[in-house]
């Protein structure tokens, strides 16, 4: 982990295949590689997951990583990590944690309040990382779909 990896905004083109929406299913948006991504309408309305991710980030991650993924003295900025690390490495770090001397990212693999919303947090940070959404609480959002609600119920048990 180096601060440098998170400082500069990544150069992302809107049609970047790692960002661009290839298809939508039940209110979830996906890239061509079947990786979750965000959707922001022209009027700024965000998809449900991005909004939900903002809320989950603020309850589980903000204490160390600071508001809006901008980092704190304790933990690095992670608003660019979702884009730079990619989905699978991002998930791996959150599930398993990571230790670098005194710098410790806890593991969240047993925490349903994180695990059931991992895609939400990921797409929220992805949107932040490419400045698709500004800092702060997203103003308007898509409705939560029945499919997302059902998956949440199953996941939370
Ligand atoms: C107790 C403090 C703490 C909490 C809470 C925390 N983190 Fe971390 N996180 C860290 C630290 C410290 C590091 C840097 C670890 C290192 O140096 O390897 C880190 C690193 C990371 C990284 C790797 C960043 C990169 O670019 O390499 C990701 C991704 C991450 N955290 C995501 C999250 C998410 C998502 C949450 C909320 C679910 C979260 N963290 C909650 C302290 C925390």
**95-129: pLDDT as tens digits:** 999 999 999 999 999 999 999 999 999 999 999 99
Q: What pLDDT score does 11 carry?
A: 46
> Which residue's alpha carbon is at the smallest distance from atom 13 of ligand 1?
105
Testing ligand 1's pocket by substitution, the residue of 8, 9, 58, 65 carrying the most ligand atoms inside 8 A of its CB is 65
Are the beta carbons of 73 and 64 closer than 8 angstroms?
Answer: no
> Which residue's alpha carbon is at the smallest distance from atom 20 of ligand 1?
105
- Tens digits of pLDDT across the chain (157 residues): 444 444 454 445 568 899 999 999 999 999 999 999 999 999 999 999 999 999 999 999 999 999 999 999 989 999 999 999 999 999 999 999 999 999 999 999 999 999 999 999 999 999 999 999 999 999 999 999 999 999 999 999 9
Kindly list the protein residues whose Cβ atom lies closer than 6 A to any atom of ligand 1. Answer: 1, 5-6, 60-61, 63-65, 75-76, 78, 81, 85, 90, 93-94, 98, 100, 103-106, 108, 114, 121
At residue 67, the 3 state secondary structure works out as: helix
Q: What pLDDT score does 15 carry?
A: 82
The closest alpha carbon to 98, from 64, 51, 135, belongs to 64
């Amino acid at each position: 982990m180096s601060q440098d990896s998170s400082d500069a905004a990544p150069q992302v083109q809107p049609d970047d295949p790692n960002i661009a929406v290839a298809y939508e299913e039940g209110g979830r948006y996906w890239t061509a590689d079947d990786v979750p991504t965000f959707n922001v309408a022209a009027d700024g309305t965000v998809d449900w997951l991005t909004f939900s991710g903002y809320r989950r980030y603020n309850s589980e991650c903000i204490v160390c990583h600071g508001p809006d993924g901008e980092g704190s003295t304790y933990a690095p900025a992670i608003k660019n990590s979702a884009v730079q690390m990619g989905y699978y490495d991002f998930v791996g770090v959150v599930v398993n944690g990571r230790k670098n001397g005194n710098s410790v990212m806890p593991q969240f693999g047993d925490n349903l309040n994180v695990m059931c919303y991992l895609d939400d947090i990921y797409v929220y940070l992805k949107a932040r990382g490419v400045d698709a959404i500004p800092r702060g609480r997203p103003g308007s959002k898509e409705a939560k779909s029945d499919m997302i609600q059902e998956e949440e119920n199953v996941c939370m048990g």
